Amino acid sequence: MDFGLTADQQMLADSAREFLAAESPATTVRRISEDEHAFSPELFRKMVEQGWTGLLVPEQHGGLGLGMLDAAVLLTELGRSLTPAPILSSAVLATSLLVSAGSAAQRKQWLPRLASGEVIATLAWLEEGDRLDPGGVLLKPRRARSGLRLSGSKLFVMDAEIAHLLLVAVRTGAGSGEAGVSLLLVPRDTPGITVTPLPSIDVTRRVYEVNFDDVVVPADAMLGAEGKAWKHLAKLLDVACVAIAAESQGGSERALHMAVEYAKVREQFGRVIGSFQAVKHIAAECFSEIEPSRSLLWYAAWAQQGNPRDASRAAAMAKARLSEVYSRTTNRSVQIHGGIGFTWEHDIHFWFKRARCNEAAFGNPAWHRERVAQLSGW
């Protein structure tokens, strides 16, 4: 089986890298990250023109109708550039959930607007405890004549301040199992919703606490069938794992490139530090971890449509491995840079911090290795 990219996928990678190099160099990333919301409407509009917001939207709804492998190709380049933009939150996660769980009417209403960039959506899933199993969904709406009333909060919601639409995981049934987990489509400007920034070391991707204070949600806001949403969230977890793994692959490659380029020009004891064996070994070790990881990523992304029976296991393996490689690579890159690598003035700290957040996002490596063991029947 050939896990190389097709000509179209390679063209997507090349065009994305060229676009991001021109429109989102490190100076631009630094400038946008200093914005209150870490968001540039102008840059996002240019991404919309590239078709990135419609990558996973079916063609009948105005998108490109591509698959997860194509999304992984794009996310690798976004991870390489670290561009602050709601591509992961809206164009990948929220869009995938709407495609998977939405009714025909809901897909017709929202997907064209997501593809056109008119609407930015985000997922509100996590609560206290940061649990990714059905028992972690505790927010329970109250029944009312007008539909549902929602009071409570969600944590670590990406891009909530700039989003127009929230996809909220709630519990509409009794117990704590898979049955009874539902999804609600809630406009961000609904009265009673407040958004509070959460502290994060990664200033290029903002996360928020979203509070619901007796928010009225109409009955037709239910995304798909009531109480049947867990299978869609479980599938979305695999998509998120592949997405984070793709970002981590691109970030690892960029961090190693930065270290090597620095080692070529930084001199100590009358020689460039790249000539020292110890520095060569560090760079070689990074390279030997990064290169094989790419095949794991491509397989995990392909399996989402190409081999659904192995999709969850492959996604968990990719998330565990590539996020750890990203952390080790950025750590070693900082070491090669020496003292300047620890300062705010040098850009490597952006990738170092994203690596730590990627390692924790959607389950840490230990949790995913346990998933792999369970899915493998061990």
- Domain 7-119 falls in which CATH fold? Butyryl-Coa Dehydrogenase, subunit A; domain 1 (1.10.540)
Give the per-residue pLDDT at 103. Answer: 94
Per-residue pLDDT reduced to its tens digit, 50-93: 999 999 999 999 999 999 999 999 999 999 999 999 999 999 99
Instruction: Render the burial of 338-351: b for 16+ CB within 10 Å, e for the rest.
Output: eeebeeeebbbbbb
CATH-assigned architecture of domain 231-375: Up-down Bundle (1.20)
Three-state SS letters, 248-307 = HHHHHHHHHHHHHHHHHHCEECCEEHHHCHHHHHHHHHHHHHHHHHHHHHHHHHHHHHHC
User: DSSP characters for 35-95?
Assistant: STTS--HHHHHHHHHHTGGGTTS-GGGTS----HHHHHHHHHHHHHHT---TIIIIIIIIH
Residue spans of the domains in the chain: they are: 7-119, 122-227, 231-375
Residue whose pair of structure tokens reads 């009225």 in the numeric block: 216
Give the per-residue pLDDT at 3. Answer: 64
169 neighbors 186 (Cβ within 8 angstroms) = no
All residues at 6 or more sequence positions from 254 whose CB lies less than 8 Å from its CB, including other chains: 79, 80, 81, 82, 351
Give the per-residue pLDDT at 144. Answer: 87
Residue whose pair of structure tokens reads 């029944």 in the numeric block: 143
Give the per-residue pLDDT at 275. Answer: 81
* pLDDT < 50: residue spans in the chain: none
Q: Which superfamily is assigned to 122-227 in CATH? A: Butyryl-CoA Dehydrogenase, subunit A, domain 2 (2.40.110.10)
Look up residue 205 and give its two tokens.
């991707």
